Amino acid sequence: MITRAVPSRPWAGTASLEVAYIWLYKQQWQGEYTLDDKIVAGITAFLTTPGKSLGNPHQLIANQNKSYIGSYTLGMGFVLTPEEAQVLIDKDPKNQEVLFPYLNGEDLNSRPDQSPSRWVINFKDYPLDAEHDDSKKPKGAPYASDYPNCLAILRERVKPERSTKAKDVAAAPWWQFWRIRSELYGLIEECDRVLLRARIANMHSVIFVPNNWVYNEKLVVFTDCSLAILQSNIHEIWAREYSSSLKKDMQYTPSDCFETFPFPTPDPSDLSTQFPTLDTIGETYYTHRQSVMRDRQEGLTKTYNRFHNTSEMADDIQKLRSLHIEMDEAVAAAYQATVENWHDLDLEHDFHQTKQGIRFTISETARREVLDRLLELNHKRYAEEVAQGLHEKKGKSKKAKGKTTKKQKTTGDDPQEEQISLF
């Protein structure tokens, strides 16, 4: 049982990092609970105060295959400057078939147009050549060897590095990404654009980008989702509640932040049909935000720094706040129309103190109420899926192997209580 906790505090040593401190009691606790040096009613496993709805959220079948972490190249040799990519295209226009703009989290959040600053050689799942094709189930052309200029670069820059890695990595096709994400790129092939966000970021911002880029592993890509829902404070507070963190940054993990999130309808794909206003306000908000970044020549991070700055009263930022309120209210209305007990929800938008500092967001009272309602809805949706047999296990699952945390010096007089520092 957690009796006392500090969710985040700068490390006292020389390393630049944040740590969490936890005090555990092995028996029934009769004393006070202290969170961030404040007495609270209790402390959850997420180092928050418990709400009216108890328990952890469940992953929902309805949300599967709609969010993906991007490609993991495992080798900087795949990555090119725009000039290097152009040289390869000039040598042989055919090389353009395996050269793609390569977007990462820094480009997404810092560049006003979210354009990639680098390119990447991407052989997808191509066999090396006909000789190395699978004899039982040959894939056939194209082969990596069809692009000798690009293959030569990977042979020089990637193959030697891969050979020094663990056995499974060294044995893998060195000319291919370590994680190709073929399913992701197959799903978005017919889309005009895709929605994504940086996997690690202080500001929560989702954005559309072209579907014909390569997205690296620092990005989360969403398929068939509503920008208004994902950009809303209703989704953000859920994601922050159940994500891990790095300093003040949220680490958005699809399995914890997205697959557990209960959308207004059981099937997220139905949102556009049932609530076309969500698409309208989402597009209005998005278009205005793009114009703010273009006119100011500032990226998402700087734009949202302005958005949350109490002294920033420029007309374009004020309008962005107003549109965000309108978007949040449209999302809340979608829940009110489809879910019982979602009436009388006052979001109380203003500048409020949060764990991330002062933010223009919904009030703490509204945040707690929304989290309670979402958790209750998650449990309801999960129970419905269980009743439909969607969560039946197909065989015995292996016991998860968790990392043990090193115990720190015991504090207090009671030997049952231990302090743990989590990095």
- The model's pTM is 0.82
Instruction: Identify the weakest region by mean pLDDT among 97-106, 315-324, 400-409.
Output: 400-409
Domain definitions of the chain by residue range: 62-67+226-387, 69-197
Helices (H), 198-275: 227-231, 233-242, 271-274
415 versus 151: the higher-pLDDT residue is 151
Residue 231: what pLDDT?
A: 98
What type of residue sits at position 3?
T
Q: Which of 374, 384, 399 is nearest to 264 (CA)?
A: 374
Name the pairing type of β-strands 214-215 and 99-103: parallel
Residue 400: what pLDDT?
A: 42
Query: What does the alpha-carbon distance between residue 182 and residue 200 come to, in Å, rounded to a whole number?
Result: 23
Residue 5: what pLDDT?
A: 73
pLDDT tops 70 at residue 405: no
CB 189 within 8 A of CB 211: yes
pLDDT, tens digit, for every residue of 152-186? Answer: 999 999 999 999 999 999 999 999 999 999 999 99
Residue 176: what pLDDT?
A: 98
Residue 16: what pLDDT?
A: 53
pLDDT, tens digit, for every residue of 240-290? Answer: 999 987 667 899 999 999 999 999 999 888 898 999 999 999 999 999 999
Residue 143: what pLDDT?
A: 98
Mean pLDDT within 213-228: 95
Q: Which of 43, 61, 39, 63 is nearest to 51 (CA)?
A: 43
Q: Which of 186, 302, 187, 282 is nearest to 235 (CA)?
A: 282
Instruction: Identify the weakest region by mean pLDDT among 6-10, 25-29, 73-77, 393-397.
Output: 393-397
Query: What does the alpha-carbon distance between residue 377 and residue 372 come to, in Å, rounded to a whole number?
Result: 9
Instruction: Identify the weakest region by mean pLDDT among 54-63, 76-85, 149-158.
Output: 54-63
- Give Cα separations from 319 to 289, 295, 307, 322, 331 (angstroms): 9, 14, 10, 5, 18
Residue 46: what pLDDT?
A: 47
Query: For the chain, what is the mean pLDDT?
Result: 88
Residue 341: what pLDDT?
A: 86
Instruction: Identify the weakest region by mean pLDDT among 63-67, 221-225, 345-349.
Output: 221-225
Phi-psi region of 121 (alpha: psi -120 to 50; beta: other; left: phi over 0): beta
Query: What does the alpha-carbon distance between residue 367 and residue 221 come to, in Å, rounded to a whole number?
Result: 26
pLDDT, tens digit, for every residue of 303-319? Answer: 999 999 999 999 999 99
Percent of the chain with pLDDT over 90: 73
pLDDT, tens digit, for every residue of 189-207? Answer: 989 899 999 999 999 999 9
pLDDT tops 60 at residue 414: no
Q: How confident is the model at residue 24 (pLDDT cuts 50, 70, 90)?
A: confident
Residue 409: what pLDDT?
A: 36
Query: What does the alpha-carbon distance between residue 423 and residue 414 come to, in Å, rounded to a whole number?
Result: 25
